[in-house]
Structure 1
Amino acid sequence: MKFLLSIPGHTRTIPMGRFVEKALLALGHEVVVFNHERDNQVERLREKIRFQGFLDYKNRQLLEVVEATKPDVFFTIYGKTHDAATLRELKRRGLLTICWWLNDPFDLAQQYLPLSLYDFFFSNSRGTAPVYRHYHVREPHFLPVGIDPAIHHPMEGTEQQYDIVFAGDHHPIREKVVLELIQHHRVAIIGPWKRKISKNSPLRPHFLRHGYFTPTEMALLFNQARIVLNLHTWYQRWSYGVNPRLFEASGCRAFQLCDTKEEIRDLYVPDEEIILYNDASELPELCTHYLARPEERARIATQAYARTLREHTYQHRMQEMLRVCGLEG
């Protein structure tokens, strides 16, 4: 089977498109990658002068790739840049159309996508399925991300030098929670927060580095952490939907504290493979408890790591996608 994989070029810390390409290749499929980001200075100028014109140009470019490579399946991650006319043309040419949307539940896909034109639609949230059925998605499927074991893995001999690590983008709720937590514990932060927090914020001394980080840099940091703090940006707004850190930290055999989401109980066993909290007010006590118990942390982290390798790699995700779409074998 030949896939035309359309990837979003703007994802910096989670280049899931390349992980997907690698997984499909490993499963024996052909993959043609179309990166919708501007490829050169001329395209950057096009985008700056007229964004819609740039999108039209890139969609024409996509159809040229289809004509040249003759794929069987069009598979887009996010798919924000593909308009209805392009999708209709892909379907006219006989391609199966698949979208994997990963911004739920805080940024719903119907704002951007002609959902009815996708043959299959996958989301990182089970809870948003009723919304998508309302917008004429025949059957939304839950498909979270996973890990690439070549990137997200334990690094033997790495010293756990940080008590608590948080890696991720800024969000006001994250800032509020971490501000409270540093009153009790040492927290190391990495992420593009510099322009979002005040110049005299007490968080500034806790940053290992401001700015975006690579998956490899994140994996090293998780290996150096006694505790990885996971806090969804939709904490206490939606009870469903899971983020990539859930799997990436466990793939590094890191001990993880994560806010509760409905899907997690089907992915990891609470108290055995992950520790969940309902309210951030629980964090100081949880951190005190587990920082004093390295053997317990190691046991839980090791069990999460084993589960992740068994069930939560990108190959597992692509196998599930192929099964749902009837593309196995």
Structure 2
Amino acid sequence: MLQQGKHSARPFPRDPSDDSGRKGWEDGLRDGYAEGYMRGHAKVIVERTRPFFPVRKIKVLYVSSGKGFPYMPIDEAVVETLKTLTADVITTESRQPEIRELAVKHRPDLVLALDGMDLPVEQIDAVRALGIRTAIWLTDDPYYSDMTLKIAPHYDYVFTLERNCIDVYRGLGCRNVYYLPFAAYVSHYRPTLTLSAIRRQISFIGSAYWNRVEFLRPVIGGLMEKGLRINGIWWDRLPEYEQYPDRIEIGKWMGPMETAEVYSGTKIVINLHRSPFDETVNNNSAKIAAHSPNPRTFEISACGTLQLVDSREDLSSFYKPGVEIETFSNSAELMDKVNYYLSHEKERQQIALRALERTFRDHTYSHRLNELLGYIFE
């Protein structure tokens, strides 16, 4: 019973003419329910039992890229996953001169290098001379093909994350070439399962390559009105940058945990691939086209958010467009789909949850490295 003189808490304004207050209350209730629905369903997906992968009785000498960030999280993903799939993992860096000596000492069944552009091929030749298998997982195909075409023939096994590069490497005499894109390291990339401290409408995280700047310019005003936030380097290249200094954070590499938190706290994350033909940053004089999805495709999907990604021919091999992911072909289509999904919450959530489920089921580093080891040892 209410006491005389005390104010009771009421769910919306007593004045029936105050529609703005009522609407705010209703919007908050609806958003809170939607947030709880997403987090609850994401928790079920993340905690569900996953496929079993065998532990092979082999020893791997892993040679990291040696480049630090942003390659360092990939090195961590590979090393920690290999520890769950093999009997023993020895690690070193590409700039270390004693790789052959380590191979002599430990007699690994495989020497696996990531990237390999800073690893002298003489070291790999010396390891092969010992009768030890060697493999390289190339991280940036086809953007630096001028370098990778020179080093790939020195390895027994070549793994590339670009399908278009398979025949190129085979044409050089590489006998064992396989398509193996990166994946989501789910210890880093996963949804926030409690109420997120980050609440964004739209996010883009990545560097301002020129093709991205030109693509976004026609719709940057509309995207900003809808709540776009950008994090990454070089975004002062955008002529409209000074209009949005509080919405564009430049000069910072975000680590994987921070990136995952932003992805998970955002309703729509835009993924726009870089161009393989940008001569200002690439070394791809052979003009090899890029048709395969970038690593962010899997990382965004692993965080339980709707991803809008520019169409690539090989994307449908991993996610079903319109079901587990959404695509766009031009700036106008991107803007149309942003408007649509910001006003169709249920559809947005369903696609995001399907992407999360598909990623944890098929696109983790455990899947990829089990596949890699299978090609070599089976």
TM over 0.5: yes
CA-to-partner distance for each residue in 1:276-319, whole Å, 9 max, x for gaps?
Answer: 11223311111101111111111000001000001000000001
The amino acid across from 2:230 in the alignment is I
Deviates more, 1:5-14 or 1:73-82: 5-14
Aligned twin of 1:124: 161
Q: CA deviation at 1:160?
A: 6.0
Matched, 1:147 2:184: yes
Does the 8 A contact of 1:80 with 1:113 survive in 2? no
- Give the structure 1 partner of residue 370 of structure 2: 319
Which residue is 1:17 aligned to?
Answer: 75
1:2 aligns to what?
Answer: 59
Give the TM-score normalised by the residue count of structure 2.
0.75
Q: Which residue of 2 aligns with 1:49?
A: none
Query: Taking structure 1 as reference, are residues 111 and 21 closer, same or farther at Cα in structure 2, changes over 3 Å only?
Result: closer
Contact persistence 1:77–1:100 (CA under 8 A): yes
- Is the 1:260–1:276 contact (alpha carbons within 8 Å) kept by the matching residues of 2? yes
From 184, 188, 200, the equivalent of 1:162 is 200
Identical amino acids, percent of aligned pairs = 25
TM-superposed deviation, 1:178: 2.9
Aligned pair partner of 1:270 in 294, 315, 321: 321
**CA separation of 1:239/1:114 partners in 2, compared to 1, >3 Å: closer, same or farther?**
closer
Unaligned runs of 5+ in 1: 37-54
Is residue 2:262 matched to residue 1:221?
A: yes
RMSD over aligned CA atoms reads 2.2
Asked if structure 1 preserves the Cα contact closer than 8 Å seen for 2:114 and 2:138, the reply is yes
Taking structure 1 as the reference length, what is the TM-score of the superposition? Answer: 0.86
2:342 counterpart of 1:291: yes
Unaligned runs of 5+ in 2: 1-57, 279-288
Within 5 Å, give how 1:225-264 maps onto structure 2. 225-234=266-275, 238-264=289-315
CA drift of 1:254 comes to: 1.1
Cα contact 2:117–2:148 (8 A) shared by 1: no
**Does the alignment pair 1:75 with 2:112?**
yes
Mapped contact 1:252–1:305 kept (Cα < 8 A): yes
CA distance in 1, matches of 2:93, 2:213: 33
Aligned to 1:309: 360
Contact 1:72–1:94 (CA<8 Å) still a contact in 2? no
> 2:183–2:368: 8 Å Cα contact kept in structure 1?
yes
Aligned-partner residue type, residue 10 of structure 1: K
2:217 corresponds in structure 1 to 179
1:105-116 → structure 2 map (5 Å cutoff): 105-108=142-145, 110-111=147-148, 113-116=150-153
Match of 1:192 among 216, 227, 233: 233
Q: What's the CA shift for 1:204?
A: 3.5
Cα deviation for residue 201 of structure 1 reads 4.0
